[in-house]
Amino acid sequence: MATVAPYPARPGRGAELGLLALALGTSIYAFAQVSLAMTGELTTDFKRFAIGYPALALVVHVLLRLRAAYADPVILPVAVLLNGTGLAMIYRLALRYQVSQPEFGQIFSRQLIWTALGVVAAVCVLGFLRDHRTLRRFTYTTMLLGLAGLVLPLVPGIGVEQGGARIWIRLGQMSFQPAEISKILLTIFFAGYLVTRRETLALAGPKFLGLRLPRPRDLGPIMGAWLASLAVLIFEKDLGTSLLFFGLFVAILYIATDRPSWIAIGLLLFSGGVVVAWRLFAHLQTRVDTWLDPFADYYESGYQLSNGLFGLASGGLMGTGWGKGRPDLTSLAFSDFIVDSLGEELGLTGLFAILICFLLLVQRGMRAAMGVRDGFGTLLASGLAFAIALQVFVVVGGVTRLIPLTGLTTPFLAAGGSSLVANWMIVALLLRVSDGARRPPPATHEIDVAGLMAAEEGSQAA
Amino acid sequence: MNAQIRRVAALTMVMFLALFGIVTFDQFINAPALRADPHNSRMYYASFNKDRGPIIVGGDAVAASVPVDDDYGYQRTYAQGPLYAPITGYYSISLGMTGLEWTSDEILQGTSDSLFLTRIQDLITGSQPQGGAVELTIHPAAQQAAYEGLGDQRGAAIALDVDTGEILAMASTPSFDPAVLAAHNTTEVQQAYDDLLADSANPLWNRTIAGNLYAPGSTFKLITAAAALETGRYDPDTQLDAPSRLELPDSSAILGNMGDSACSSTGTMTLAEALAISCNTAFASLGLELGDDVLRAQAERFGFGKRLDVPLPVTPSVFPPDPDRPQTAMSAIGQFDDRVTPLQMAMVVSAIAGDGVLRTPHLVRTERGSDLEVVATTPVTTLAKPLSPESAEDLADMMVRVVENGTGGRVAIPGVRVGGKTGTAEKGEGKAPDNWFVAFGETDDQAVAVAVVVEDGGKAGLQGTGGAVAGPIARAVMEAVLDQ
């Protein structure tokens, strides 16, 4: 009998509450340290956080008990811990900037509001979306909205260019990175589209160098995704977003079809596009040069990365401790370079802990993908999990000089509203899918109820 | 599709492993190189953003760090700045460090090896390393007496404990306020620094150990006398030629005495008498008899030409390398190219008063951890034995006669055995001389050696003599030390 029960049918809400207590305790402790190190007292902001943040987390926890009782118990605490750590660092920097750079003095209060909005977004997703399969109905709607989000920054009047990349839109006081939301919408689209087309796309074509290639006529979708990502690269000059979308598409394509040749084709196409773009665009060449030697042009292009690396180095193994380093010496210490800021004050040890949190989030997402019974859910969860992994890899690799620097936000940590809201929605989707994965199959009329109950009693006895 | 998901999950593991690897590289393997990078302003700020330890004199901090709310976190302050500036130096953001702030930086900063245990503790408890303290040998009252005695005059005064080598006073005037240079406003600091550099009186010099050095004048006669006694062919009663005018050999130059007076009616006098009245012709002819090699060897036994760190670096004093005979005669009475630091002359006196034993001069008595627990004590060591105990005793008695019935009468202190020697270093026709007084004062408990120099006759100008101008300062310092 090939009945597979990958998850025990235990809701795990108790475990989640325990882990939440740990995550909240760590976050509040971090806040207290920041507050004491920077001001010598426990500030009003600390008290607000110490009351408000657990309240937000508990809202989600209670909602899960009501609406997704079998959801993975690790995902929420990890998100709460990461978001809390990011808030503590942003608070720490804001306290510093109030003295040195008043223009950044508001980053903390904004981030706090965005955290609340992010949690509200997650609550909405969990509350309104009772079954993730509903999303499959909107496959093409999400595609249109997702693509619209991608091109929105190009619209004159609302699109803004910052740091060489045109990926923001500004409406009045608020600026927003629509690509963050597009990431979710397009993952839904990829999952919905590929789950229907996977049989066709998996069909074998000619064999080349030992690799079985797809049929030429099936190349349409990947070419479409490639062209879209190239458009992002060329018109919005954003290598990070471009890489994220294309990598995401190729990963889901591979999972759906089990054809490694798609990965080969994808890599080939993308590297071709990047090489051409690299030759065409000076700012990409600068990025690569800076990556190869950040000190060559220290006072101009290399300044930011060098200072980020200095921050990491001065953190060493144990870090300087909350509030005791100088992360504010690195520009954009609160957004692109927040990982370097955390590395400086929490050390190698702290940064490993943060990376492990991300890895946990990714792996729990993959678990949910493997456990869920429908193909759409599998592709959606694995796609979202892979998107987190790829994004963390690209941004952390960029600020640690593993790969050239590109403009992506660090999920949950970096200051930025769109990113926070989007990532809380991803967490909500992963929770929803994991609930589907772990929930015991409903008893149907075909099943002998008495037999089932007997079996259940047996398993309880065992 | 689970097999593919496992592979993709494995890929994400690989990606994260790469991140673990690079973070380890940045924060551990390559971190020392990044920390040492000259561009790294963090290390620069961090070195200032530390509770740097105090410099302590007589139980009070003369330099200390207080927390302030700016980029640097701490402000260095100097109580009685000008009084101690030649010793402490300054600790400046834009100008760097000088003085003990520089030479004792490791202990003050808390990075010294002697603080090893404290640092281990800091590592375990996670507390920010705190700087250690440096306790000086300076006697506050003696330092005050030296500084006030010099007053508005340019000059230097230094006092040594004969038995230990401890530097009890080290004053140099004009001085400056290190607090001004330690301020965090770099523009104002630069302006103040430029003004100090432009000042022709050179307030940044520590004249006791560095600067332009001085011609020792007649105080050098102590070295000439020591060289003579050490040959064994002379004793304090040996008769010396003492003409009123000495024709220098191989030249047409003629050397006279101060005021062109005759030293003696008979044309000869004893070595002791010659020292007591500081007879130039007697010592010049003695120098000619001894020759420059003997004089130089004796000077080097006292420390001439040798590097010394107290721990402030001391400029070596100079006896001319290759003088002809008239130059040798002039060198024997402290003219020509003799150049000395006041510390060097104090060392000469200290060896004479200390039975021929010269203790190593030093400024730092103890190094202490941030809890003020002593972690290192500077030991009393012998730097050299420049002359035999017998010669030293004879010479000390001769110096006492200088005070009792010679040129040094002004420094006599009731109840104290005081020996001295005046010096008036000529700097040319119409120029006021530099006035010297070197002395020792001895009680049953303690012996102190002092050297004082006042430039250009001080307040007395052309009329200045060592006994009148520098003598009272030497006496005040000795009185402060011996508490008379």
Q: A362-387: b or e for each residue (b if 16 or more CB lie within 10 Å)?
A: bbbbbbbbbbbebbbbbbbbbbbbbb
Q: Could you tell me which of A426, A344, A418, A408 has the C-alpha nearest to residue A132?
A: A426
Higher pLDDT, B41 or A365: A365
pLDDT of residue B113: 67
Domain boundaries, chain B: 217-364+379-482
Q: For B237-276, how does the pLDDT look when each residue is reduced to its tens digit (9 = 90+)?
A: 888 888 777 777 776 667 766 656 677 777 788 998 888 8
CA distances B185 to A268, B75, B196, Å, are: 57, 11, 17
The CA distance from A313 to the nearest CA of chain B, in Å, is: 4
Tell me the chain A residues in contact with residue B51 when contact means C-beta distances shorter than 8 Å.
Answer: none
Give the position of tokens 């959801």. A71
* Residue A302 lies inside a defined structural domain of this protein: yes
Average pLDDT rounded to a whole number, residues B2-11? 94
Q: Could you tell me which of A303, A236, A230, A240 has the C-alpha nearest to residue A273?
A: A230
Whole-structure pTM over 0.90, yes or no? no
Q: Which of residues 311-330 of A touch B (CB under 8 A)?
A: 311-318, 321, 324-326, 329
Q: For B105-127, how does the pLDDT look when each residue is reduced to its tens digit (9 = 90+)?
A: 888 887 766 666 666 666 555 55
Distance CA B374, CA B39 (A): 36
Distance CA B188, CA B168 (A): 34
The confidence band for A173, taking pLDDT boundaries of 50, 70 and 90, is low
Q: Which CATH class is domain B217-364+379-482?
A: alpha beta
Average pLDDT rounded to a whole number, residues B297-325? 91
Average pLDDT rounded to a whole number, residues A56-77? 95
Is residue A175 over pLDDT 80?
no
The helix (run of H) or strand (run of E) holding residue B61 is strand B60-67
In sequence order, the 6+-apart residues with CB closer than 8 A to the CB of A367 are A72, A434, A437
Is residue B206 over pLDDT 90?
yes
Average pLDDT rounded to a whole number, residues B353-375? 89
Candidates B65, B92, B218, B285; catalytic one: B218
**Percentage above 70 pLDDT, chain A:** 92
pLDDT of residue A164: 67
- Lowest mean per-residue pLDDT among A5-19, A323-337, B394-408, B464-478: A5-19
Q: Could you tell me which of A360, A359, A342 has the C-alpha nearest to residue A351?
A: A342
Q: Could you tell me which of A389, A358, A438 has the C-alpha nearest to residue A73?
A: A438
The confidence band for A220, taking pLDDT boundaries of 50, 70 and 90, is confident
Q: A415-426: b or e for each residue (b if 16 or more CB lie within 10 Å)?
A: bbbbbbbbbbbb
Is residue B166 over pLDDT 60?
yes
Q: Is A396 on the interface with B (CB under 8 A)?
A: yes
Distance CA B230, CA B302 (A): 13
Q: Which of A310, A356, A362 to mutate to test the interface with B (most CBs of B within 10 A)?
A: A310
CA distances B477 to A115, A302, B58, B124, B263, Å, are: 71, 59, 16, 48, 31
Q: For B22-66, how does the pLDDT look when each residue is reduced to its tens digit (9 = 90+)?
A: 999 999 999 989 888 878 888 777 777 778 889 999 888 899 888
Distance CA A72, CA A63 (A): 13
Is residue A350 over pLDDT 90?
yes
Q: Strand B55-57 vs strand B133-136: parallel, antiparallel, or unpaired? A: parallel
pLDDT of residue A49: 95
**Mean pLDDT over each residue of chain A, to the nearest integer:** 87
Is residue A452 over pLDDT 60?
no
Q: For A80-96, how does the pLDDT look when each residue is reduced to its tens digit (9 = 90+)?
A: 999 999 999 999 999 98
Number of domains chain A contains: 1
Q: Which amino acid is at A251?
A: A
* Rounded to 5°, angle at Cα B373 from B370 and B379: 115
Average pLDDT rounded to a whole number, residues A15-34? 96
Is residue B483 over pLDDT 90?
no
Q: For B175-205, how does the pLDDT look when each residue is reduced to its tens digit (9 = 90+)?
A: 999 999 998 888 888 899 999 999 988 999 9
Helices A282-292 and A260-280 pack at an angle, to 10 degrees, of: 100
Tell me the chain B residues in contact with residue A400 when contact means C-beta distances shorter than 8 Å.
Answer: 19, 22-23, 26
Tell me the chain A residues in contact with residue B2 when contact means C-beta distances shorter than 8 Å.
Answer: 370, 378
- Whether B218 is catalytic is yes
Contact (CB<8Å) A351/B22: no
**Percentage above 90 pLDDT, chain A:** 50
Q: For A273-283, how does the pLDDT look when each residue is reduced to its tens digit (9 = 90+)?
A: 888 888 888 88
Average pLDDT rounded to a whole number, residues A455-460? 48
Three-class DSSP category at B446: coil
* Residue A456 lies inside a defined structural domain of this protein: no
Q: Is B60 on the interface with A (CB under 8 A)?
A: no
- Lowest mean per-residue pLDDT among B116-125, B152-161, B209-218: B116-125
The confidence band for A2, taking pLDDT boundaries of 50, 70 and 90, is very low
**Mean pLDDT over each residue of chain B, to the nearest integer:** 87
Q: Could you tell me which of A397, A101, A100 has the C-alpha nearest to residue A244?
A: A397
Is residue A456 over pLDDT 70?
no
In sequence order, the 6+-apart residues with CB closer than 8 A to the CB of B320 are B292, B327, B331, B336, B337, B338
Distance CA A150, CA A294 (A): 31
Q: For A261-307, how does the pLDDT look when each residue is reduced to its tens digit (9 = 90+)?
A: 888 888 898 888 888 888 888 888 888 899 999 988 888 888 889 99
Q: Which of residues 257-316 of A touch B (CB under 8 A)?
A: 258, 295, 298, 306-307, 309-316
Instruction: Report how far apart the first and last C-alpha atoms of chain B are (Å, whole number).
Output: 99
Q: For A91-150, how does the pLDDT look when each residue is reduced to its tens digit (9 = 90+)?
A: 999 998 887 777 787 889 999 999 999 999 999 999 999 999 999 999 889 988 998 888
Q: Strand A165-171 vs strand A159-162: parallel, antiparallel, or unpaired? A: antiparallel
Write down the ipTM of this complex: 0.91
Whether B443 and B471 have beta carbons less than 8 Å apart is answered as: no
- Residue in chain A nearest B6 by alpha carbon: A366
Tell me the chain B residues in contact with residue A362 when contact means C-beta distances shorter than 8 Å.
Answer: 9, 12, 16
The confidence band for A1, taking pLDDT boundaries of 50, 70 and 90, is very low
Q: A268-290: b or e for each residue (b if 16 or more CB lie within 10 Å)?
A: ebbeebbeebbeebeebebbeeb
- Domain of residue A188 covers 13-440
Three-class DSSP category at A74: coil
Average pLDDT rounded to a whole number, residues A359-371? 96
Q: Which of the 8 DSSP states describes residue B75?
A: E
Task: Copy the structure tokens of residue B280.
Answer: 């130039």
pLDDT of residue B164: 94
